[in-house]
Chain A
Amino acid sequence: EAGVTQFPSHSVIEKGQTVTLRCDPISGHDNLYWYRRVMGKEIKFLLHFVKESKQDESGMPNNRFLAERTGGTYSTLKVQPAELEDSGVYFCASSRRGGAGTDTQYFGPGTRLTVL
């Protein structure tokens, strides 16, 4: 089966611009997660979708970040306007079942965002 894919692999933008990251989860995976790794630190949770609904967005840093998953398939994460501290690697992961289950999360290759 195809894995989780993310686009673009790299993005370099200037402060104040807008960037949209895309994640295509594994087909049939209802759960989709966004994470971010900044400056070699830990991978930090941003938010969790179950199908098209936001289950938990407690990790979203501020209202400059907007995530959507229309139709419960692919997801986008928009940063508007981007700030310098938004630079990092954004990972998407998907799994078949969450909640009380402990299904494996499959990660995409990540999008490296650089804000100048």
Chain B
Amino acid sequence: GENVEQHPSTLSVQEGDSAVIKCTYSDSASNYFPWYKQELGKGPQLIIDIRSNVGEKKDQRIAVTLNKTAKHFSLHITETQPEDSAVYFCAARYGQNFVFGPGTRLSVLP
């Protein structure tokens, strides 16, 4: 079945630095890739997404890139701030449902 891998599992960066989280997926038919941010005590919240007909999408300090050939997609956060600290999940659409990666715990150190 569909599988999504996500790396790293934990990531610590200094405030102001950039953070990159990478995911790979197995089903070449997947065509939609959302990223979710989960803060303590809350459910995952969509922060950015990308469709398979686009290679890159940017929204202020966050960007996502997609390499369909390699079946890789990445989340880039620039100028990190303490409030960016959270668990981030990537996901790939598989049929009518989604398969999620295991999550990355990002810590932004002041």
Contacts and interface: CB of A to CB of B under 8 A. Distances in A.
Interface stretch (A14-22, A61-69, A79-87, A105-113): A105-113
Q: For the side of the interface on B, what is the size category? A: 20 to 34
Interface of B: 4, 31-32, 34, 36, 41-46, 49, 51, 89, 91, 93, 95-103
A29 B101 CA distance: 25
B31 A102 contact: yes
B38 to A, nearest CB: 8
B104 to A, nearest CB: 11
B103 A55 contact: no
Contacts of A59: 97
A45 B98 contact: yes
A72 interface: no
A42 B41 contact: no
Interface of A: 4, 6, 33, 35, 40-45, 48, 55-56, 59, 91, 93, 98-99, 102, 104-110
A104 B97 contact: no
Contact of B103 (A33, A42, A48): A42
Contacts of B89: 42-43
Contacts of A104: 34, 46, 49
28 contacts: A4-B43, A35-B100, A42-B89, A42-B101, A43-B44, A43-B89, A43-B91, A43-B103, A45-B97, A45-B98, A45-B99, A48-B96, A48-B97, A55-B96, A56-B95, A91-B43, A91-B44, A99-B96, A102-B31, A102-B49, A102-B93, A104-B46, A106-B46, A107-B36, A107-B44, A109-B41, A109-B42, A110-B43
